[in-house]
Structure 1
Amino acid sequence: MEDEILEASEALDAGAVSAPQLRPQSLVLAFFGNHVLERGEGGLGVYSGSIIDVLGRVGTGEQAVRSTLTRMVNRGLLRRQREGRKMFFGLTAPARSVLRDGGQRIWRDGAVNEDWDGTWTLLGFSLPESWQRQRHDLRSRLGWSGFGALYSGLWIAPGRVDVRDIVSELGLDAHVKVFHARAEEFTDVGLMIRESWDLEALAARYVAFDKRWTTETTPDADPIATRLRLVTEWLRIIRNDPRLPVQHLPEGWPALQAQETFRRIAEQTEGPAVRMADELLETTRLRSA
Structure 2
Amino acid sequence: MTSGGDEDQTVPSVRPQSLMFSFLGIYVLGRATAVYSGSVIDVFARLGVSEEAVRSTLARMVKRNLLARHRRGRKVYFGLTPHAAEILADGRRRVWETGAVNRDWDGTWTLVGFSLPDSRRSTRHDLRSRLIWAGFGLLQSGLWIAPGVRDVTGVLASLELGDHVTVLTARASTPTEAADLVRKAFDIEQIARRYQAFLAQWDTSRPFPSAPDDLARQLLLHTDWLHLVRQDPHLPTEHLPGDWPAIRAEQVFQALAHEYDPRARKLADVVLDELTL
- With structure 2 as the length reference, what TM-score do the two structures score? 0.92
Give the secondary-structure state (helix, strand or coil) at the position aligned to 1:81.
Answer: strand
Quickly say closer, same or farther: Cα 1:17–1:182, change in 2 above 3 A. Answer: farther
Look up the match of 1:217: 207
Question: Once structures 1 and 2 are overlaid, which stretch shifts more, 173-182 or 233-242?
Answer: 173-182
For residue 26 of structure 1, report the CA deviation from its aligned partner. 1.3
Quickly say closer, same or farther: Cα 1:189–1:247, change in 2 above 3 A. Answer: same
- Alpha-carbon contact 1:167-1:173 (below 8 Å) kept: no
Listed as ranges, the matches of 1:178-257 within 5 Å are 178-215=167-204, 216-217=206-207, 221-257=212-248
Identity of aligned residues (%): 50
Query: For 1:76, which of 46, 61, 65 is the aligned residue?
Result: 65
- With structure 1 as the length reference, what TM-score do the two structures score? 0.89
For residue 130 of structure 1, report the CA deviation from its aligned partner. 2.2
- Alpha-carbon contact 2:114-2:166 (below 8 Å) kept: yes
2:94 maps to amino acid: R
- Alpha-carbon contact 1:17-1:212 (below 8 Å) kept: no
**CA-to-partner distance for each residue in 1:139-161, whole Å, 9 max, x for gaps?**
00000000000012000000001
1:29 maps to amino acid: F
**Is 1:29 matched up with 2:21?**
yes
**CA-to-partner distance for each residue in 1:35-79, whole Å, 9 max, x for gaps?**
1113x2xx3110101111111211221111111100101111000
**Is 1:46 matched up with 2:35?**
yes
Listed as ranges, the matches of 1:128-139 within 5 Å are 128-139=117-128
RMSD: 2.0
**Aligned residues between the structures:** 271
**CA-to-partner distance for each residue in 1:193-223, whole Å, 9 max, x for gaps?**
1221121111111011112112241689511
Which of structure 1's runs of 4+ aligned residues deviate more than 3 A? 15-21, 218-221
Query: For 1:163, which of 139, 152, 175 is the aligned residue?
Result: 152
Give the secondary-structure state (helix, strand or coil) at the position aligned to 1:131.
Answer: helix
For residue 167 of structure 1, report the CA deviation from its aligned partner. 1.5
**Is 1:153 matched up with 2:145?**
no
1:235 maps to amino acid: L
What residue ranges of structure 2 are gaps of 5+ in the alignment? none
Q: Return the alpha-carbon distance in structure 2 between the equivalents of residues 56 and 283 of structure 1.
A: 18
Quickly say closer, same or farther: Cα 1:17–1:255, change in 2 above 3 A. Answer: farther
Quickly say closer, same or farther: Cα 1:114–1:234, change in 2 above 3 A. Answer: same
Q: Return the alpha-carbon distance in structure 1 between the equivalents of residues 15 and 55 of structure 2.
A: 13
Quickly say closer, same or farther: Cα 1:243–1:18, change in 2 above 3 A. Answer: farther
What residue ranges of structure 1 are gaps of 5+ in the alignment? 1-11
- Alpha-carbon contact 1:58-1:225 (below 8 Å) kept: yes
2:226 maps to amino acid: L
**CA-to-partner distance for each residue in 1:96-148, whole Å, 9 max, x for gaps?**
11111111110111100000000000010010012111011000000000000
